[in-house]
Amino acid sequence: MKSEFLKPKTTSLPSAADEAESPKIDERRDSRLLAMPHLGHAASSADPRLESLAREMLIELGEDPEREGLIRTPHRVAKSLRFLTSGSEKEPADVLNGALFDADEYSEMVLVKEIEFYSLCEHHLLPFFGTVSVAYLPGGKVVGLSKIPRLVDLFARRLQLQERLTKQIAGSLQQLLEPRGVAVTATAFHLCMAMRGVAKQQSVTTTRAFTGEFLSNPQLRKEFLDEAGRDSDGGK
């Protein structure tokens, strides 16, 4: 149902005096809309402050937050942003602890590749997304394979830079797993470059991070990059 503040006060044609007063009426209406809680949802809102900010943003953009397509938008935006930044509420140890296992008999590279991720650029709050490949050289322990994609999600679900994301994945694995080395490569498509600014729709960005033996051994680093770039069917 439309707010009473958005309904015309009369069906008669406005007089010259009415037209002179209309800017003041509009100003009062806008100020009341900004202060007005989200009709029908305020009592059950789990995130009233963020919903209120989303509603104010709609008004600043010249939209009517009470029209049919936008009535639930502040709630959806708040819920979406909380999910997309939920990685800030956790630490890497929360993901990996309990899934580290002794494996003295295995010392070769462990590679989990083409892990999909979705993140928000901290500069424009626009998405960037792509894949990450992660490898490590066990130093006596291995980690449950599903924990590596979970670690990627933890860092991706923050306001991020791709460069920082890549370093954080490598650094946290190195610190918690204590392997002989970690290698990470990420390739992503940034909507802040495609939708605005330079508007380059075909550009992708690749970042890399290495620790330990991957950093000191060029041949090992090449082996990782070759395997990470190889198609799953064995081709290039």
Instruction: Indicate which residue of 21, 89, 91, 123 is catalytic.
Output: 123
User: Known catalytic residue: 192?
Assistant: yes
Residue from 235, 88, 219 nearest 165 by CA: 88
> Do residues 128 and 162 lie in contact, with contact meaning Cβ atoms separated by under 8 Å?
yes
User: Known catalytic residue: 121?
Assistant: yes
Instruction: Indicate which residue of 66, 160, 168, 190 is catalytic.
Output: 190
Instruction: Indicate which residue of 162, 168, 174, 213 is catalytic.
Output: 162
Q: What is the DSSP letter of 15?
A: P
Distances in whole angstroms, Cα of residue 53 to Cα of each of 35, 38, 42, 122: 10, 11, 13, 18
The tokens describing 60, both together, are 């600043």
User: Known catalytic residue: 41?
Assistant: no
Instruction: Indicate which residue of 60, 122, 163, 201 is catalytic.
Output: 122
> Do residues 116 and 131 lie in contact, with contact meaning Cβ atoms separated by under 8 Å?
yes
User: Known catalytic residue: 175?
Assistant: no
Instruction: Indicate which residue of 38, 121, 174, 213 is catalytic.
Output: 121
User: Known catalytic residue: 162?
Assistant: yes
User: Known catalytic residue: 4?
Assistant: no
What spatial distance separates the first Cα and last Cα of the chain, rounded to whole Å? 58
User: Annotated active-site positions, please?
Assistant: 121-124, 162, 190, 192
